[in-house]
């Protein structure tokens, strides 16, 4: 049994970890442990002094050491004498805002709970167990049901909360975070992933300080600026050793994660929907579901933690026919043509691509409405016949006749003011009466909380997908959101809109992905502005960044790799000089970097020299051969690109017989020793042959001493080594 309740202690065990909570005499649920597996109750570690200015609940009587302000609460709330960051807060009908949750009941069952209207980790009864703990605020009747999903073999624990108003009066939730996690002390580092458009998920690691540190997004999307994920790790934790806990929020809207080190040096982390521009009115009898957080813990360092997240995301988050299968190598016309194309141009790119072995032609932005630039056309999902004479069908047929599949770009959530849709339904765009809206890339955002808007988008997309042989959809979203207002909602419900938008987005994605199970959906938001486990539930891959420069990509993909498996990372070879940075890198380097992902090209292949075309054809062949190892193998980060002057990573097959080592050395240097790279995850006893050579090395030597990397001439030179067990 992964979940046990014994002597007022909840034990949630996975193969290598233990999550433990206790119930005390006052019905308070407190956190005991998340870390290495032990058989013991960890209660003995907790002892509290009488702390001045940390008050005591009334029923504690003269017990001055019992304080909500010092206890490691499993789900902390505002207004009960705990002055640290709360996970939940509410305003009651009389305007007061205290919440004090006490245990009411619990249940344990096989299988993994789901969440109404929201994506969640899924697993069958043999793979997971669920614990539901019902907590009640006696005075108001607000119930918080804490959900725990335990995926034993995955070393994963999921959390979510459902609030139920079981009282007589209406109330309003003002903070409804999904997780609250206590750590015994604050001597930890935390790692988070910040960035910007064209430079997402830059890893940053700092020590915790006393007080509150936080990340988040109020942009209506999970954002380029911060990823909804973080790692807490012991200060000495490395890629290969030490304790670390990862948390990934399965949500694509505004989010917040906070960590506080309190006066006693204990740490608390909370994570969920951002409370700014959030409130949710709960009438008597109504429920509200918070999104899920995926937790995983490793006692063997960050590398193992990442592998655990890769496994759970790949097997229990991503869905659909493409979840575990190989993906087509694609060619996208965006950086080849931008808005300037016609049928002949697209066909010529496709034709050349087909000759080089590429599987799928993706027609990007500009094929619809009056879309000759980014000022117009969004919302009009009908073919621009000036560019594509006779519509899509003849082009798709011609491309199919080349033996290639066809894919199409959409940006469903947006509208241009210069569009028929906007002229007909100006009220469908988010804007606040009496204020001018904020434009971004000249566009406004459709209110996806409205059913008629979703129905319009569903019908428009469905029509195109039905009438044309479209086998791939790129779902883009190219701005941050503001001007939140929906005329149909009463004033006290306006702050529900950002979350209602996300619920609408998920509902639309669910409808379309269910109806078109054979279509590969790739997520995108100006590259990786919405790269989160929520979107991955609908789209098994996401365009990782609009920055296609191979050098910068190694940093972006490094950060992305902490939580997200390579199969989810859309990555393309583009032209040089690179359109974002002007940097020139070799075609081999661009190929190697893009291969650590869902591979494709994004340039006019007709402009390549003959020998470059041969390289492309060879890369496509190589990727196709290596894709099973890249997708199914264990991924190892072998360097820290910020520190080591190179990016290096490897894929090791499950049976450890095959290893692909790839990387990029950033700068050539004169008169230096050859670089050495220590490998990981090999069979220590076995011998390995490198790139088919006669000489072999033992796994233990390659892991302890390392592999000598080839000498490089020039900057940003890629290497690739293939090891086979003897
Ligand atoms: C976004 C995407 C790009 C491309 C453009 C088209 O920036 O990330 O890949 O599709 O939009 O406008």
pLDDT tens digits, one per residue of 624-642: 999 999 999 999 999 999 9
Residue 364 is a catalytic residue: no
Q: Which of 654, 650, 648, 649 is nearest to 632 (CA)?
A: 654
Q: How far is CA 144 from CA 73, 102, 182, 288, 290, in A?
A: 14, 9, 18, 10, 10
pLDDT tens for residues 560-569? 999 999 999 9
CA–CA distance, 367 with 382 (Å, rounded to integer): 8
**β-pairing, 229-234 with 244-249?**
antiparallel
Q: Is 462 exposed, middle or buried (0-12, 13-18, 19+ CB in 10 A)?
A: middle
Residue 404 half-sphere exposure toward CB, CA atoms < 13 A:
29
Distance of CA 361 to the CA centre of its chain: 26
pLDDT tens for residues 18-51? 999 999 999 999 999 999 999 899 999 999 999 9
What pLDDT band is residue 16 in, cutting at 50, 70 and 90?
very high
For ligand 1, whether the C-beta of 526 sits within 6 Å is: yes
Mark out the alpha helices in 633-697 (DSSP H runs): 641-644
Q: How far is the CA of 524 from the centre of ligand 1 (A)?
A: 8
Pick from 478, 539, 548 the residue to mutate for probing ligand 1's pocket: most ligand atoms within 8 Å of its CB.
478
> What is the full DSSP assignment across 579-621?
TTT-----HHHHHHHHHSSEEEEES-GGGS-HHHHHHHHHHHH
Q: How far is the CA of 533 from the centre of ligand 1 (A)?
A: 21
The number of the ligand 1 atom at minimal distance from the alpha carbon of 525 is: 8
User: Percent of the chain beyond pLDDT 90?
Assistant: 99
Integer-rounded Cα Rg, in Å, for the chain is 27
> Which residue's CA is the nearest one to ligand 1's atom 2?
526
CA–CA distance, 601 with 607 (Å, rounded to integer): 13
The number of the ligand 1 atom at minimal distance from the alpha carbon of 527 is: 8
> Which residues, other chains included, contact 325 with Cβ-Cβ below 8 Å and sequence gap of 6+?
none
**β-pairing, 520-523 with 472-475?**
parallel
For ligand 1, whether the C-beta of 476 sits within 6 Å is: yes
pLDDT at 446 > cutoff 90? yes
pLDDT at residue 442, as a whole number: 98
Contact between residue 223 and residue 482 where contact means Cβ atoms under 8 Å apart? no
Q: Which of 442, 409, 412 is nearest to 338 (CA)?
A: 409
> Burial letters for 301-317: b for 16+ Cβ neighbours within 10 Å, e otherwise?
bbbbbbbbbbbbbbbbb
CA–CA distance, 617 with 352 (Å, rounded to integer): 11
DSSP 3-state helix, strand, coil percentages of the chain (rounded to 5)? 25, 35, 45
Please say whether the dihedral angle defined by the alpha carbons of residues 176, 226, 641 and 594, taken in this order, is positive or negative: positive
Q: How far is the CA of 409 from the centre of ligand 1 (A)?
A: 9
The number of the ligand 1 atom at minimal distance from the alpha carbon of 546 is: 8
Contact between residue 200 and residue 217 where contact means Cβ atoms under 8 Å apart? no
Instruction: Report the C-alpha dihedral over residues 357, 360, 364, 367, rounded to 10 degrees.
Output: 110
pLDDT tens for residues 264-294? 999 999 999 999 999 999 999 999 999 999 9
pLDDT at 525 > cutoff 90? yes
pLDDT at 369 > cutoff 90? yes
Please say whether the dihedral angle defined by the alpha carbons of residues 24, 28, 31 and 37, taken in this order, is positive or negative: positive
Contact between residue 453 and residue 460 where contact means Cβ atoms under 8 Å apart? no
For ligand 1, whether the C-beta of 478 sits within 6 Å is: yes
For ligand 1, whether the C-beta of 409 sits within 6 Å is: yes
CA–CA distance, 495 with 75 (Å, rounded to integer): 23
For ligand 1, whether the C-beta of 365 sits within 6 Å is: yes
What end-to-end distance do the CA atoms of the chain give, in Å?
Answer: 41
For ligand 1, whether the C-beta of 364 sits within 6 Å is: yes
> Which residue's CA is the nearest one to ligand 1's atom 8?
526
pLDDT at residue 53, as a whole number: 98
Q: Which of 527, 303, 248, 478 is nearest to 375 (CA)?
A: 478
**β-pairing, 211-217 with 199-207?**
unpaired
**β-pairing, 520-523 with 541-543?**
parallel
Q: Report the 10 Å Cβ neighbour count for 291.
A: 31
CA–CA distance, 413 with 441 (Å, rounded to integer): 13
> Which residue's CA is the nearest one to ligand 1's atom 7?
526
**pTM (predicted TM-score):** 0.98
Beta bridge partners of 392: none
pLDDT at 158 > cutoff 90? yes
Strand runs (DSSP E) across 46-141, as ranges?
Answer: 88-91, 101-110, 129-137
Q: Which of 186, 290, 299 is nearest to 240 (CA)?
A: 299
CA–CA distance, 483 with 699 (Å, rounded to integer): 58
pLDDT tens for residues 448-486? 999 999 999 999 999 999 999 999 999 999 999 999 999
pLDDT at residue 1, as a whole number: 83
CA–CA distance, 635 with 303 (Å, rounded to integer): 8
Q: How far is the CA of 476 from the centre of ligand 1 (A)?
A: 7
For ligand 1, whether the C-beta of 35 sits within 6 Å is: no
Mean of the per-residue pLDDT values for the chain?
98
Point out the catalytic residue in the list 200, 532, 546, 588: 532
Pick from 476, 580, 602 the residue to mutate for probing ligand 1's pocket: most ligand atoms within 8 Å of its CB.
476
What pLDDT band is residue 353 in, cutting at 50, 70 and 90?
very high
Q: How far is the CA of 523 from the centre of ligand 1 (A)?
A: 11
Backbone angles phi, psi at 527, to 5 degrees: 85, -125
pLDDT at residue 508, as a whole number: 98
Q: How far is the CA of 681 from the centre of ligand 1 (A)?
A: 37
Q: How far is the CA of 527 from the centre of ligand 1 (A)?
A: 7
For ligand 1, whether the C-beta of 334 sits within 6 Å is: yes
Pick from 546, 547, 570 the residue to mutate for probing ligand 1's pocket: most ligand atoms within 8 Å of its CB.
546
For ligand 1, whether the C-beta of 527 sits within 6 Å is: yes
Contact between residue 35 and residue 20 where contact means Cβ atoms under 8 Å apart? no
Q: How far is the CA of 338 from the centre of ligand 1 (A)?
A: 9
CA–CA distance, 419 with 544 (Å, rounded to integer): 29
Please say whether the dihedral angle defined by the alpha carbons of residues 507, 508, 513 and 514, taken in this order, is positive or negative: positive
CA–CA distance, 485 with 494 (Å, rounded to integer): 6
The single-letter DSSP state of residue 436 is: P
> Which residue's CA is the nearest one to ligand 1's atom 12?
365
The number of the ligand 1 atom at minimal distance from the alpha carbon of 474 is: 10
Contact between residue 49 and residue 43 where contact means Cβ atoms under 8 Å apart? no
Q: How far is the CA of 636 from the centre of ligand 1 (A)?
A: 30
Instruction: Report the C-alpha dihedral over residues 214, 219, 221, 222, rounded to 10 degrees.
Output: -20
pLDDT at 216 > cutoff 90? yes
pLDDT at residue 506, as a whole number: 99
Residue 612 is a catalytic residue: yes
Q: Is 124 exposed, middle or buried (0-12, 13-18, 19+ CB in 10 A)?
A: exposed
For ligand 1, whether the C-beta of 524 sits within 6 Å is: yes
Distance of CA 172 to the CA centre of its chain: 29
The number of the ligand 1 atom at minimal distance from the alpha carbon of 364 is: 10
Residue 284 half-sphere exposure toward CB, CA atoms < 13 A:
4
For ligand 1, whether the C-beta of 570 sits within 6 Å is: no
The single-letter DSSP state of residue 221 is: S
Backbone angles phi, psi at 174, to 5 degrees: -115, -15
3-state secondary structure labels for all residues of 328-372: CCEEECHHHHCCCCCHHHHHHHHHHHHHCCCCEEEECCCCECCCC
114-138 average pLDDT score: 98
381-404 average pLDDT score: 97
Residue 405 half-sphere exposure toward CB, CA atoms < 13 A:
15
Point out the catalytic residue in the list 612, 614, 654, 669: 612
> Which residue's CA is the nearest one to ligand 1's atom 11?
526
Q: How far is the CA of 450 from the centre of ligand 1 (A)?
A: 25
Beta bridge partners of 520: 472
Q: How far is the CA of 70 from the centre of ligand 1 (A)?
A: 49
User: Percent of the chain beyond pLDDT 70?
Assistant: 100
For ligand 1, whether the C-beta of 74 sits within 6 Å is: no
pLDDT at 297 > cutoff 90? yes
Rounded to 10 deg, the angle between the 610-632 and 587-595 helix axes is 20
């Amino acid at each position: 049994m992964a979940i046990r309740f014994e002597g007022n202690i909840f034990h949630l065990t996975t193969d290598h970890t233990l999550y433990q909570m206790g119930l005390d005499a006052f019905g308070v649920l407190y956190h005991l442990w998340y870390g290495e597996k032990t058989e013991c109750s960890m209660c003995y570690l907790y002892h509290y002094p009488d702390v001045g200015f940390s008050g005591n609940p009334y029923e504690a009587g003269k017990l001055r050491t019992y304080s909500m302000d010092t206890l490691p609460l499993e789900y902390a709330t505002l207004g009960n004498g705990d002055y640290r960051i709360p996970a939940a807060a509410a305003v009651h009908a009389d305007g007061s805002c205290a919440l004090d949750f006490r245990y009411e009941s619990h249940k344990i069952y096989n299988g993994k709970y789901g969440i109404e209207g929201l994506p969640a980790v899924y697993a069958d009864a043999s793979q997971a167990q669920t614990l539901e703990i019902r907590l009640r605020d006696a005075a108001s009747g607000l119930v918080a049901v804490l959900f725990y999903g335990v995926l034993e073999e995955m070393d994963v624990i999921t959390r979510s909360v459902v609030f139920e108003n079981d009282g007589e009066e209406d109330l309003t939730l003002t903070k409804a975070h999904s997780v609250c996690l206590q750590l015994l002390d604050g001597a930890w580092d935390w790692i988070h992933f910040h960035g910007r458009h064209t430079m997402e998920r830059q890893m940053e690691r700092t020590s915790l300080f006393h007080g509150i540190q936080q990340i988040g997004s109020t942009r209506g999307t999970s954002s380029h600026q911060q990823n909804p994920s973080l790692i807490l790790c012991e200060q000495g934790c490395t890629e290969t050793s030490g304790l670390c806990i990862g948390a990934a929020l399965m949500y694509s809207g505004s989010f917040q994660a906070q960590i506080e080190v309190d006066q006693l040096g204990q740490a608390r982390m909370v994570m969920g929907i951002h409370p700014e521009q959030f409130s949710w009115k709960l009438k008597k009898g109504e429920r509200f579901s918070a999104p899920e957080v995926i937790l995983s813990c490793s006692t063997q360092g960050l590398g193992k933690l990442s592998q655990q997240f890769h496994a759970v995301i790949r097997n229990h988050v991503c869905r659909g026919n493409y979840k575990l299968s190989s993906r087509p190598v694609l060619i996208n016309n965006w950086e080849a043509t931008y808005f300037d194309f016609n049928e002949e141009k697209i066909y010529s790119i496709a034709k050349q691509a087909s000759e080089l072995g590429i599987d799928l032609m993706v027609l990007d932005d500009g094929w619809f409405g009056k879309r000759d630039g980014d000022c117009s056309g969004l919302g009009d999902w009908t073919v621009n016949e000036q560019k594509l004479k006779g519509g899509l069908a003849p082009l798709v047929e011609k491309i199919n006749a080349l033996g290639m599949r066809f894919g199409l770009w959409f940006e469903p959530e947006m509208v241009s003011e210069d569009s028929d849709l906007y002229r007909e339904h100006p009220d469908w765009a988010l804007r606040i009466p009496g204020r001018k809206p904020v434009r971004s890339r000249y566009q406004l955002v459709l209110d996806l909380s409205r059913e008629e808007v979703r129905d319009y988008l569903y019908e428009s997309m469905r029509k195109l997908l039905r009438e044309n042989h479209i086998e791939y959809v790129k779902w883009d979203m190219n701005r941050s959101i503001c001007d939140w207002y929906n005329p149909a909602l009463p004033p006290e419900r306006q702050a529900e809109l950002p979350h209602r938008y996300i619920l609408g987005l998920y509902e639309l994605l669910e409808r379309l992905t269910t109806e078109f199970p054979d279509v590969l959906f790739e997520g995108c938001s100006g590259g990786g502005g919405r790269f989160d486990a929520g979107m991955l539930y609908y789209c098994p891959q996401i365009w990782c960044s609009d920055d296609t420069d191979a050098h910068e990509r190694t940093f972006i993909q490094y950060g992305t790799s902490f939580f997200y498996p390579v199969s989810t990372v859309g990555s393309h070879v583009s032209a040089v000089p690179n359109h974002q940075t002007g940097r020139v890198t070799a075609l081999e380097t661009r190929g190697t970097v893009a291969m650590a992902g869902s591979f494709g090209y994004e340039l006019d292949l007709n402009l390549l020299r003959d020998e470059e075309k041969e390289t492309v054809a060879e890369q496509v062949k190589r990727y196709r051969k290596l894709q099973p190892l890249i997708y199914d193998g264990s991924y190892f980060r072998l360097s820290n690109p910020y520190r080591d002057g190179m990016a290096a990573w490897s894929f090791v097959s499950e049976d450890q017989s095959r290893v692909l080592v790839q990387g990029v050395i950033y700068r050539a240097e004169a008169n230096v020793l050859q670089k050495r790279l220590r490998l990981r995850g090999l069979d220590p006893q076995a011998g390995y042959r490198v790139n088919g050579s006669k000489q072999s090395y033992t796994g233990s030597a390659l892991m302890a001493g390392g592999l000598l990397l080839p000498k490089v001439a020039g900057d940003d030179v890629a290497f690739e080594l293939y090891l086979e067990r003897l």
